[in-house]
Structures are given as structure tokens and as C-alpha cells.
Amino acid sequence: MESNMITEVSSGVCDPSAGQPHRAALILARGGSKGIPLKNIKNLAGVPLIAWVLRAALDSEVVDSVWVSTDHDEIERVARVWGAKVHRRSPEVSKDSSSSLETIQEFIRLRPEVDIVCHIQATSPCLHPHHIREALQMITEQGCDYVFSVVRRHQFRWEEVDKKEGKNPTSPNIDVAHRPRRQDWPGELYENGSFYFSTRKALETGLKQLGKIAYYEMLPEYSVDIDVDIDWPVAEQRVLRFGYFGREEKAAVRLFLCKVSGCLTNGQIFTSVSGEDHVAINARDVAGIQMLQRENIEVCLISNMNEPLSKGLLEKVAQLTGCRLQFGEQQNGFEMELLMKEKNLCWNEVAFMGSESEDREILSQVGLNGVPCDSPVANLIAAKYTCQRPAGNGAVREFAEYILMLKKKSLLQEHQEHIDRANF
């Protein structure tokens, strides 16, 4: 379990405000990232980077509002799609030289109802709702003015020296003659940049008049900082193991609905000289469907009257994949309700992969949804998972692996997900 130890830097407890204080989560996301352009909305493990912390904040159930402060239209669009409110920051606090404090101060000047600001960094995608709840309690129940996140590291530090002077480097935290074993040394605390919570009064004074300060210690596996983890694939692997996937993480998927055109195929139809229609199916996608079926997850291919493929060709595809074909007039939410009633399922037990605007209704209702990276609808919905692969080229296999990964995570006990401190 996380340790929420408090270290008092100075004495004094802030006066509690009258009534219930308004607690706002605030994520700062300027458009001008120097390292990775629009890094805050770049997909990380199928989800926009900023969406990982937005999902945690929204599901924490202890903040009254969730805001994204930005100067960029595309970041605003993604933030709204994922359920956040948007504060359009002024040009004065959108410069390369603008500090986070200046930006937050502008936000609270325009939001007089806010009493506590939970400043969350978009670059810390392994944040979980319980981190927010426990850290916020330090302000609301333990009277802290300022709470920040830290991680414990077992690193020996050495002071830098001028090599021309010929001096020996010294270590400020170890005795070289008595170098401790890792398990015998408690380590040191470092800011991990995940969040900084503070009262309105503390922010208005520029953090110069703080009463009680505390740190919230997070375990190393949750301390993933994209500003540090430059290798994006490495960060993705950490997030896939330790990130917060939302409420669907504990959902048991029993049925996978997959559109044929735009998901299982790329929409292309080939016509032979004899006039026969042909369609290409990626072997990886077929293997992905079989993986789900082996885990007792039923796969159903769906299509409608507007489908460019003939019904006969669709039936051949269904036969090839070993799936049932659900062919209807519209394939809307009502028809899916009838299908689920037939199978005695509820929405949160269903995963759906679609790609077109007509799929939006079902995508928004199921417990887990996915879209290929080239899907027109990907920019219109808060897709739980956006594949790195396009339609007809392994997207179904990728989403199938994601479904199975969530199933595996839901079966693991929480302590199995934690890395043992002594062996980290």
C-alpha cells in the first residue's frame, strides 16, 4: 500500500473554510511542447497521454470539477471528449517562460468558487484515483496547505567537481568505506512530479506563506514521468502494467462485437475478371479472434444493409473466422439491446470495435470500445482504446490482446500487481 506519511516543514494549520470546500483538479497542457509536438494528446498505449490522468481524476469521486488549462484547440477538443472542462489560458501565461504557478493563479482568479486546486501533471500516466483521494485527505482532513507527490529512490549521489582542479568527488548521502546494502538503507525521497495539491490561500500568496506542508509517497511502479521516460515504447509497457484503465478494468468481457468493414477489413473490395467479389482478411486478425474464443469470449461480426460487401461474402468471412454474423438494417443500440437480451448480457460485459459515425451510439454504450487508428470516428469519441494499427492490418488482433490484458489484470490480486520493494 502507498504510504501517506506527513512531514511538517513549518508549524501552523490553515483555517478550514466555511462549508464544504470546492476541490478542482487542474491539468496544465500547453500546446508548445519542445520535445514531442502536442505530447499531451499523443497516444500512449492506445489512449491520449492526458486522458490517463483525466480518467483517474474523474473516477476519484472526491473532486468537484476537472479542468484542463490550455492554449491549443486540439488539446481542448480532446479534453472535452474525455469529460473535462476547459480553461482557455491567456497569452500572458502561454509563453515558454510562463510558470505553472502563474497559470494556476490565473485560473483561480477566474474561478472564485475554487478552494483547493489539485494540480495534476499530464505526464504522469500511472496516477490512480486512490492517489488523489488519499493526498486530498491531507488537506481536507489533516489541515495541510500544500501536498506534493514523492517517490523513494535508492541512489547514491555524488557531487560534481571541476576535473581541472583534480579534487576527488564526495558523496553527500553515503560513506564510501561503509557502503550500505540496498535493503539496509531506507533511501531518499524525490519529487516525482505527479501532482501538487494546495489551498487557494497558499496559491494566492505565491506559496510564500505556507503553514503545514506534507508529502505523499507513491510506489516506484506508479512513478512514470514521460518527461523523463523519453523512450515512448518503454513508457507504454509501464503504463500497460501499472496504469489506471478506468472502471472497465474490472469488467469481465463476455462478448466482442466487431464491424466487418472498417475494422476487420480496410473497406476494399476486389473484383475478378469473372465478376466475383473478393475481400482480404489479415491472418493476424483471425488469430486475434481465435485467442478471444479460446478464452470463452464470444465474437460476433456485425454488419448492416449499408455494408458494401454482399451478404454472401460476409457469411464467408464469418465462416472463415468461426464467428456468428449479425446482419441487420441499422445495427443501432436497440438491435444490440435485443442481442444482449438474447444472450443475457449487460452493456459492461460487451466490447465493441467500430469505425464509422454510425457506430457512435454503440461505442458510447458498451463497457469497452476500440477503434482502428485510421477510423473516421476516432476523433469524435472518447475511445477507450485507439489501435496503433489500421483497419484490416492487425487492428482487431491488437484490440483482442488489449481485452485479454484487461481480463488478466482483473484476475490478479492487487498485491500481485505491486513490485516487491526489496527487489525493485
Give the residue numbers marked as catalytic.
179
DSSP bridge pairs for 304: 328
Calculate the CA dihedral of residues 406, 407, 410, 415 and round it to 10 degrees: -80
Provide CB contacts within 8 A for 36, sequence distance 6+. Answer: 42
64-100 as b/e: b if 16+ CB within 10 A: eebbbbbbbeebbebbebbebebbebeeebbeeebee
The size of the chain, in residues, is 424
| 176, three cell numbers | 564510501
Whether the CB-CB separation of 50 and 122 falls below 8 Å is answered with: yes
Residue type, 221: E
DSSP-based three-state secondary structure for 371: strand
Cα atoms found within 13 Å of the Cα of residue 46, Cβ hemisphere only: 25
